[in-house]
């Protein structure tokens, strides 16, 4: 998907002034807030505010609207005492006027700036560029009914056993997971989300929200769901990526979508094996690098 959220990272030196921070506490956390007063060199004021409030940056494309790979740096958090507060707005005031002539005669020159940063409950978290962007992951059960092969299978045992006919073949229910990864509030739908439909993951895929790692060839990429909404600021999209997980083996030795049930001749055990041409495996489902789908 090309949208990755990164924790706040401050790179600008500043000085915290006296009587800062000023904290406002209420009986509910949602009503709490705080204000910090910071002194910074004027030439660094915009960079500092940008890092405090969070911003989006493009990779591989010029400008802040660099798609399809976008990094969203989250706003600064207030601190361990009130961890649910994040920086939501800033007021910049000049300080220490100098006699030097500004390159733009409309403005005076100042050596420093005083920045008043407001921290609020994190439900106010927003991006000025993308509007409200949210990530959501869900997991639910998915099942697959498999008709077993009848070769080497019988009704009964010993001399009275009867070979099972194909029309009387037993079935088996295989259970797996459907994992959905939804980005809401995006201003862009990358074409990369459509290409891997019907393909499997060549490499491990990490589901960060549900804390799950999917081994290679166990995730089948289903058709994505894209919804659009027209707002005053433009069209925004809700993009849901859908993956079907199946593993009839273990995490270390997975048997995913290219493994099928068979009956062994030796003991009629039901196992899962890949299909071959007698020499090499012949995969029914092709693999692809899912990193082109989302970051």
Task: Report whether pLDDT(2) > 60.
Answer: no
Percent of the chain's residues with pLDDT above 90:
25
Which residue carries 């009629």 as its tokens? 268
Per-residue pLDDT tens digits for 174-206 = 788 899 988 887 767 777 888 889 999 998 888
173 closest CA partner among 142, 197, 194, 201: 142
pTM of the model as a whole: 0.53
Which residue carries 């799950």 as its tokens? 212
Which residue carries 């020499």 as its tokens? 279
Task: Report whether pLDDT(56) > 50.
Answer: yes
Nearest-10 Cα torsion for 113, 118, 124, 127: 10
Task: Report whether pLDDT(64) > 70.
Answer: no
Top-confidence residue, 106 or 161: 161
Per-residue pLDDT tens digits for 245-293 = 999 889 999 999 999 887 766 655 778 888 888 888 888 899 988 877 7
**Token couple for 76:** 């600064």
Strand positions, DSSP E, 7-97: 15-16, 22-24, 33-41, 55-59, 69-73, 85-97
> Which DSSP helix (H) or strand (E) runs through 234?
strand 234-245
**Token couple for 136:** 């959501």
- Cα 249 to chain centroid, rounded: 27
Q: What is the mean pLDDT of residues 95-103?
A: 74
Check if the beta carbon of residue 71 is closer than 8 Å to that of residue 59: yes
């Amino acid at each position: 998907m090309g949208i990755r959220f990164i924790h706040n990272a401050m790179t600008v030196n500043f000085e915290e002034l006296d009587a800062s921070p000023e904290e406002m506490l209420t009986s509910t956390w949602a009503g709490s807030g705080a204000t910090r007063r910071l002194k910074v060199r004027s030439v660094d004021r915009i960079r500092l505010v940008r890092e405090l409030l969070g911003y989006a940056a493009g990779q591989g494309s010029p400008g802040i609207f660099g798609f399809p790979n976008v990094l969203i740096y989250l706003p600064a958090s207030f601190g361990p005492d009130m961890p649910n507060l994040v920086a939501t707005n800033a007021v910049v005031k000049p300080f220490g006027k100098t006699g030097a002539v500004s390159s733009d005669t409309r403005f005076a020159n100042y050596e420093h700036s005083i920045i008043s940063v407001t921290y609020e409950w994190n439900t106010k978290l927003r991006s000025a560029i993308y509007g409200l962007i949210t990530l959501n992951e869900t997991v639910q059960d998915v099942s697959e009914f498999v008709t077993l092969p009848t070769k080497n299978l019988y009704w009964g045992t010993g001399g009275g056993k009867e070979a099972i006919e194909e029309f009387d073949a037993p079935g088996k229910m295989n259970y797996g997971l459907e994992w959905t990864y939804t980005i809401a509030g995006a201003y862009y739908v990358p074409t990369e989300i459509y290409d891997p439909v019907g393909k499997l993951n060549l490499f491990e895929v990490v589901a960060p929200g549900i804390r799950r790692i999917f081994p290679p060839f166990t995730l089948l990429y289903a058709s994505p769901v894209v919804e659009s909404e027209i707002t005053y600021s433009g069209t925004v999209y809700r993009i849901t990526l859908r993956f079907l997980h199946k593993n009839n083996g273990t995490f270390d030795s997975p048997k995913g979508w290219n493994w099928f049930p068979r009956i062994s001749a030796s003991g009629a055990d039901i196992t899962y094996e890949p299909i071959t041409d007698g020499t090499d495996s012949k995969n029914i489902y092709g693999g692809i690098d899912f990193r082109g789908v989302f970051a």
